[in-house]
Structure 1
Amino acid sequence: MRRSSHWTDRIDDETDDGGSAALEFIVVGLLLLVPLVYLVVALGLIQGQSLGAEAGARHIARALSTAENADAARRSADRILQSVIEEYDLDPGSVGVSFACRPAGATCPAAGATLVVTVQTRVALPLVPPVLGLDRLASIPVEASAAQKISRFWGSG
């Protein structure tokens, strides 16, 4: 094995970085791209679920405020909720609906009162395993409310 004593041969051996820039670009690109893609997917899921909760609250409030009586209001609200769950791909087990009337103390629903409908759901973050309940812990609560004035002729039909 022959050793070179010329100093330019030693410099060439020490600074041989040919081809490492492409490898560094790929590694750094992947390290930055994977979290960015995950963030975009997670925010897309949260946005879709929040649109579903908002649509459910708005349509249920409108249907209840224009219904003829309590039975028609209940049937209409159930159909609307089922439709919204299917349309926006909500988890049926995590969707909750609550009703309140204003002014406080008014029987709900009552003619002339203001009905407030609130729809709550939870968005499970993608790629979270169901180990030790992590899927339940890594979920984002989403809530939407809608207010609608109940017809003064409510219950008269």
Structure 2
Amino acid sequence: MLRAKHSADGIPHRKGGWRLAVTSDRGNAALEFITAGLILLVPIVYLVIALAGIQGAQLAAAGAARQAARVYVQGSDQADASAEASAAVAFALADFGLQADAARVQVSCRSHPDACLTRLGTVTVTVRVRAPLPLVPDVLDLRHDAAVSVQASSTQRVSRFWSAR
């Protein structure tokens, strides 16, 4: 243990001089903890928030595609099926806080491209949603570029008992 000698002005003298006093780690732990905590914590929190938003958009797209395909194959005609599928997509996206105009919906038919609603026909609905990244300002339309596009597809078969009503 070093014993400090005091000079006439009250400054302790230690063996090793000022270099020992300057390189001492006394009192720096709190400052280092706060600095390292902020440097590491802020990006991790942002990453968690961004991934939660992207995951929410993916779940919204999957639910919207599944529900739209189910509703589409039960439609009475093409126009009715398209309108009901669009309403199902809007409703599913609203559950996740997304706007209906944020999604693009594509309906494709494997069996008959011109007529999706035929007996035992297969209908595939694909929903694409852009998930905006959080805390991006609206300056210079960066919100459009700072978004992650996710998509989901669902395929349903038209009933063998379906008939145009």
TM-score interval, normalised by the smaller of the two chains: 0.7 to 0.9
Change (3 A) 1:43 1:5: closer
Change (3 A) 1:10 1:73: closer
Structure 2 distance, partners of 1:114, 1:33, is: 49
Unpaired runs of 5+ residues, structure 2, are: 1-8
Percent of residue pairs identical? 38
Which residue does 2:128 correspond to in 1?
120
Alignment of 1:151 with 2:159, yes or no, is yes
Structure 2 distance, partners of 1:130, 1:6, is: 59
Alignment of 1:51 with 2:59, yes or no, is yes
Q: Tell me the TM-score normalised to structure 2 length.
A: 0.82
Larger deviation: 24-33 or 72-81? Answer: 72-81
Displacement of 1:22: 1.2
Change (3 A) 1:66 1:15: same
Displacement of 1:120: 0.7
The question of whether the paired residues in 2 share the 8 Å contact of 1:98 and 1:118 is answered with: yes
Structure 1 distance, partners of 2:90, 2:134, is: 24
Which residue does 1:31 correspond to in 2?
39
SS of 1:24 mapped into structure 2: helix
SS of 1:155 mapped into structure 2: coil
Displacement of 1:17: 2.9
Which residue does 1:41 correspond to in 2?
49
Alignment of 1:100 with 2:100, yes or no, is no
Which residue does 1:21 correspond to in 2?
29
Structure 2 distance, partners of 1:104, 1:75, is: 20
2:29 partner amino acid? A
Alignment of 1:140 with 2:148, yes or no, is yes
Change (3 A) 1:32 1:154: same
Largest Rg, 1 or 2: 2
1:137 partner amino acid? D
2:152 partner amino acid? A
The question of whether the paired residues in 2 share the 8 Å contact of 1:67 and 1:154 is answered with: no
Displacement of 1:31: 0.5
Question: Which structure dedicates a bigger proportion of its chain to helix?
Answer: 1
Unpaired runs of 5+ residues, structure 1, are: none
In the comparison of the two structures, how many residue pairs are matched? 157
Change (3 A) 1:136 1:8: same
Change (3 A) 1:104 1:12: same
